[in-house]
């Protein structure tokens, strides 16, 4: 699909946000792309935004393994730093109780119990060195996160609403921050 074909399918709202459903191979389904235009009066996608859409569409099918790893990491992190009120059984840790109650045994479960809500691309990324997209995922732990794609590669995840500019110099910025939290 070329840029013009995508632009013809976009439904723009009054705020310059465009919505278009595009089939994404790694998820084997159509996903809604949310495109934030710089100009809300005459919205359009920039060449960089189009290339970023192509980056997402051209993710290798093995990228789903990286997504599973990140979702599993999110489960482990969430169950370590937060208490969802799961009561441990005899000999079980609180974290183990959370995995049991949420019926999560491995990274495949983390993916299966997550829901891809959409993919966002912001015009602000045009000002950065990298091209960024955010896969918005409601995780198995009921958190909304952004899986970050930089230049066609899945690099990390962070909370919804993250600023992708922080990944310019350090692609593992959010991961490193999580490690700091876990290490106190």
Q: What is the per-residue pLDDT across 98-140, written as a single tens digit (0 to 9) for each?
A: 999 999 999 999 999 999 999 999 998 899 999 999 999 999 9
159 falls in which pLDDT band (50, 70, 90)? very high
97-103-109 Cα angle (round to 5): 130
Q: What is the mean pLDDT of residues 3-9?
A: 94
1 confidence band (pLDDT: 50, 70, 90):
confident
Q: What is the pTM of this model?
A: 0.95
Instruction: Give the pLDDT score at 40.
Output: 86
The Cα–Cα gap between 20 and 35 comes to: 8
Confidence at residue 12, expressed as pLDDT on a 0 to 100 scale? 96
Averaged pLDDT, 59-65: 96
pLDDT of residue 184: 83
Residues 6+ apart with CB under 8 A from 107: 68, 69, 71, 72
Place of tokens 């920039």: 46
Summarize the confidence of residues 37-46 as an average pLDDT. 91
| Mean pLDDT of all residues belonging to the chain | 96
pLDDT tens readout for residues 164-184: 999 999 999 999 999 999 998
Q: What are phi and psi of 45, to 5 degrees?
A: -100, 140
Q: Is 163 exposed, middle or buried (0-12, 13-18, 19+ CB in 10 A)?
A: exposed
The percentage of residues in the chain with a pLDDT greater than 70, rounded to a whole number, is: 100
pLDDT score for 115:
98
Q: Each residue of 68-96: pLDDT tens digit?
A: 999 999 999 999 999 999 999 999 999 99
- The residues near 130 (Cβ < 8 Å, ≥ 6 apart) are 150, 151, 164, 167, 168
């Amino acid at each position: 699909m070329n840029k013009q074909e995508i632009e013809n399918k976009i439904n723009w709202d009054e705020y310059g946000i465009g919505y278009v459903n595009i089939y994404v191979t790694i998820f084997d389904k159509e996903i809604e792309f949310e495109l934030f235009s710089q100009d809300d009066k005459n919205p359009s996608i920039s060449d960089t935004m189009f290339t970023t859409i192509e980056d997402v569409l051209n993710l290798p099918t093995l990228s789903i393994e990286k997504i599973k790893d990140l979702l599993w990491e999110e489960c482990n992190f969430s169950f370590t730093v937060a208490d969802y009120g799961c009561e441990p059984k005899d000999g079980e840790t609180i974290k183990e109780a959370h995995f049991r109650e949420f019926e999560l045994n491995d990274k495949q479960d983390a993916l299966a119990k997550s829901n891809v809500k959409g993919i966002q691309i912001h015009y602000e990324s045009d000002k950065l060195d990298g091209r960024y997209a955010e896969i918005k995922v409601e995780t198995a732990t009921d958190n909304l996160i952004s899986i970050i794609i930089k230049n066609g590669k899945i690099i990390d995840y962070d909370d919804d609403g993250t600023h992708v500019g922080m990944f310019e110099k350090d692609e593992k910025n959010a991961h490193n921050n999580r490690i700091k939290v876990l290490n106190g």
